[in-house]
Amino acid sequence: MAIKSFNPTTPSRRHMTVLDKSGLSKKGPEKSLTKGISSTGGRNNQGRITTRFRGAGNKRRYRVIDFKRFKEGVPATVISIEYDPNRTANIALIQYEDGEKAYIIAPVGLKAGDKVMNGPKAELKPGNSMKIKDIPVGVDICCIELTPGRGAAIARSAGQVAILRGKEEEYAQIKLPSGEVRMVHVECRAMIGQVGNLDLMNVKLGKAGKKRYKGFRPHVRGVAQNPVDHPMGGGEGRESGGGHPVSPWGKLAKGKRTRNPRKNSKNFIVERRKK
């Protein structure tokens, strides 16, 4: 998907770029596969802000994505590739031969009219889903389950891809996009290929208002706040926070590892992600 730029008719347009969505479907989403979603504004069920700098944003409808891909051995045709406001990746509307429709994450190279299938009989081509035990070593995969039957949990956003490095008895070693090498049970499912929409990382919003459309409120730096509001606040003039950067609650903000060493899943991590 290409990047479009504009003539600088306004200051914000000078540097703004957008994705060329000419390859995406212009019709609305499949109504039977959508449901309402309400914005929290970063607040919990008591109305208190638990996630700062969230709010506003355009109203959306949630597209129900099939992350489990249980329907095996039934070919499906890709009807269209669509935009999804709830994620960075594009989605594909597919229709199985028995008439059932579903949304899946659209990998690189998938287009309307292509055939996809789930299960051990599926070919090794983008969009097909199967268990890791049926995938050869060295193949690029995405939308990977961590627990068999629970649905894809990792490598789901735009451009993400993992590599199946090896298999030993019940577990396979997968190199994740972060650089971490992790053991995953061979009964877990994965999709062949790389998640599409690769050019998203090159888009420049161009103006603050576009960030608001996405549901983000202005983020205030700690050094710009008062001492009562932030440990790094206060000082005369442009004085920086001093010391090591910390969160508003005094936790070290850059470099300190926060993962619990007693977490059960540590036994499945072969190599830690790179610093």
User: Domain 3-200 is of which CATH architecture?
Assistant: Beta Barrel (2.40)
- Beta strand 189-192 with 129-131: parallel, antiparallel or unpaired? antiparallel
Q: Is the pLDDT of residue 91 over 80?
A: yes
Top pLDDT among 237 and 274 is at: 237
DSSP 25-36: --SPP-GGGEEE
Tokens for 42? Answer: 């970063």
Distances (CA, A) of 114 to 32, 43, 76, 107, 273: 22, 42, 8, 12, 36
Element spanning 172, H or E: strand 171-175
Top pLDDT among 274 and 38 is at: 38
Helix H, strand E, coil C: the string for 127-165 is: CCEEEHHHCCCCCEEECEECCCCCCEEECCCCCCCEEEE
* Boundaries of every domain in the chain: 3-200
Give tens-digit pLDDT for 238-275.
888 778 899 999 999 988 888 898 999 889 999 988 76
Rounded-to-integer distance, Cα 58 and Cα 258, Å = 34
Amino acid code (one letter) for 209 = G
The pTM for the full model equals 0.90
